[in-house]
Structure 1
């Protein structure tokens, strides 16, 4: 895996987060390089800058290495992006006192004079980001968007023009282009939340724009909901919770349980919390809430006091544009370490992903609880004598 970032006389060592993840993916792509190259070519001076969708801090680190006090507002929905950025600043001996953090629901400050942005995979989310920028940016503020050439077309440029200001694309370089948008200063309305019922479980669900399965129950979650394990479970983790549907249903099935929702996406955690509250799942007779919400990289920072006896997991098999199984590996390992002896991990996934192989390596056991033509539900039990690996 390449860790040496070198462009426009900037030399950095960059790694993905966590740095020891089992993958051969690098922490940046050619679109990051193209954006930095473009800034050097136009001799962009230091300015109040919003950096949006910077996967592991390549853009922020490059700006700071050129000007230590370059003022940057970092907008990210991913906890791994935030943690990766901080790691790469430290690895390159840079102070991050010039960084301010925004989640993907917050408006950037009015003082922003420059925006650097990577095109996200989710175009509904991208539109939401453009609309929020339109509410803060002054007329004529430049917005530079890095993307693969194959992702840029007339419709995309029209979308940017509609929601922020006129946009044009540069010539290609390393199969990427830089889109230049000049903000027109006209604020756009933000999208309204969409709610939809899951009638068979008497639940109402809503999603923010960067949460998987925008307005329907995805088929992997559906087979999981129909096959939750029987028994008594006191502490449950919905790992990679998305909108929280698995944890919400778990609370219905195990009404005395404490349910912890964990996701790398801040929008997912916010959606899960909103759905918990909208469905009134806390027991009013309990002195403390039973739903707990954690924006985190898998279970890395979950309190030591949380020892689940059931972990429910619908793992993603991509991170941004990259298809990878390292997130599933980390989820399964974290679940193993966190589970009480005798506790269960229940996983749903596409049959072709071969999760049973990973689970047998970690837990030394794995059984199939249910399956259909596309998905399989697997269960692994932590041995009562299980020791951390």
Structure 2
């Protein structure tokens, strides 16, 4: 078990009526919660982790908004998790838990000391009366929030977009996504936005438009725009050769670390899902040089657009 997960579990008391597991990258917090025999609600929005939690016996929020999933709760609750990397996700979790209706609720979130700022305390303080830091262990510490306030959650709306929780780019168009959107042809046919994020690439497109993402916050944000969006693993629920045009604006950060390997799984999915004669449009930061990875999977690859930071590749 990671030192961080061990610290979170040592600070939190798992003797409440229900245990809420928030962001849980390793699954160790889930295992500890299930071992108590108490009801466990899994609030992590990651598709893979959620499926594993469901199979292990937890009730998952899945692609339901957290405030709606928890509404009308009663009894006592303790929530544990790794501190979200975005303040938007933190606010979403805190407001959803505080406003759920529990007679008492304690939220324990752990992180590296350098990632705990006045802003994290302030966000928690909007939903809980008492926010305090635990004793540190090595380079880690927890924030403990108690005494829920009477709050509710409202997604951020701006620029014609809706941001639920910690969706990438929030309620703002992503610069790379905007270049990708401008490069798409007028005739899309059956179109898939693969890894759609906040839906900024697909918004207002007309025709046979589908979006998908493995992050529940992204799915909910895209659906708020009226998009037909699925929550799954890289379009895994769709048959082979289902789409004529695929747009891909892949993640290239794992947290704060650049990780160009994150695109591999999505490229494999694009190759499987693209119909004969179809076209993939992929945008990436130019310095990451994804062209070689695309050429391994597609016979014809060309540069469709480029600006001072991003490149769009066309592949078929």
* Same-fold status (TM-score > 0.5): yes
- Which residue of the partner structure matches residue 212 of structure 2? 262
Cα distance change of structure 1 residues 30 and 380 upon mapping to structure 2, 3 Å threshold: farther
3-state SS in 1 of match to 2:275: coil
The C-alpha deviation readout for 1:191-210, integer Å capped at 9, x for no partner, is: 354242xxxxxxx3333232
Per the alignment, do residues 47 and 323 of structure 1 end up closer, same or farther by CA in structure 2, a change over 3 Å counting? farther
How far apart in 2 are the matches of 1:345 and 1:38?
48
Structure 2 distance, partners of 1:193, 1:215, is 6
Cα pair 2:133 2:141 within 8 Å, conserved: yes
- CA shift, 1:84, in A, is 4.3
TM-score under structure 2 normalisation?
Answer: 0.88
RMSD: 2.4
In 1, Cα distance between equivalents of 2:117 and 2:220: 32
Q: 2:247 aligns with which of 312, 323, 328?
A: 312
Deviation at 1:274, TM superposition (A): 2.6
Normalising to structure 1: TM-score of the pair?
A: 0.73
Alignment equivalent of 1:298, drawn from 192, 213, 234: 234
Please state if 1:240 is matched with 2:195.
Answer: yes
Matching residue within 296, 311, 315 for 1:361: 296
Does residue 97 of structure 2 align to residue 161 of structure 1?
Answer: no
Q: 1:126 aligns with which of 90, 100, 106?
A: 90
- The change in CA–CA distance for 1:319 and 1:298 in structure 2 (over 3 A counts) is farther
Unaligned runs of 5+ in 2: none
- What is the number of equivalent residue pairs in this alignment? 311
Residue 348 (structure 1) shift: 0.6
State whether residues 359 and 365 of structure 1, in contact with CA within 8 Å, keep that contact through their aligned partners in structure 2.
no
Query: How far off its partner does 1:237 sit?
Result: 0.6
Q: Residues 139 and 185 of structure 1 are in contact (CA less than 8 Å); yes or no, is this contact kept in structure 2?
A: no
Distance 1:314 1:148, change over 3 A: same
Residue ranges of structure 1 left out of the alignment (5+ in a row): 6-28, 90-95, 197-203, 277-290, 382-389
Q: Is the 8 A contact 2:21 2:30 kept in 1?
A: yes
Kindly indicate whether residue 66 of structure 2 is the aligned counterpart of residue 80 of structure 1: no
CA pair 58-193 structure 1, distance change in 2 beyond 3 A: same
Q: In structure 2, what is the equivalent of residue 53 of structure 1?
A: 23
Residues 297-328 of structure 1 deviation map (CA, whole Å, 9 limit, x = unaligned): 2122x232761111101111124455433331
SS at match of 2:126: helix
Q: Could you tell me which of 154, 164, 169 is aligned with 1:191?
A: 154
Aligned partner of 1:350 among 277, 285, 288:
285
- 1:143-162 pair list within 5 angstroms: 143-162=107-126
Q: Distance in 2 between matches of 1:76 and 1:215?
A: 21
Among candidates 89, 101, 105, match of residue 60 of structure 2: 101
Contact 1:76 1:104 in 2 (8 A): no
> Cα distance, 1:138 vs. partner?
4.1
Classify 1:137/1:263 alpha carbon distance in 2 versus 1 (closer, same or farther; 3 Å).
same
Distance of 1:49 and 1:174 partners within structure 2: 26
User: Which structure exhibits the higher relative contact order, with contacts defined as CA atoms closer than 8 Å and separated by 6 or more residues?
Assistant: 2
Q: 1:125 to 1:322 in 2, by over 3 A?
A: same
From 38, 54, 67, the equivalent of 1:70 is 38
SS at match of 1:73: strand
Higher fraction of strand: 2
State the distance in 2 between where 1:132 and 1:362 align: 42
Find the counterpart in structure 1 of residue 223 from structure 2: 273
What is the aligned counterpart of 2:168 among 194, 198, 212? 212
What whole-Å deviation, never above 9, does each CA across 1:238-286 have from its counterpart, x for those lacking one? 01112223223542xxx4xx2210011223222222313xxxxxxxxxx
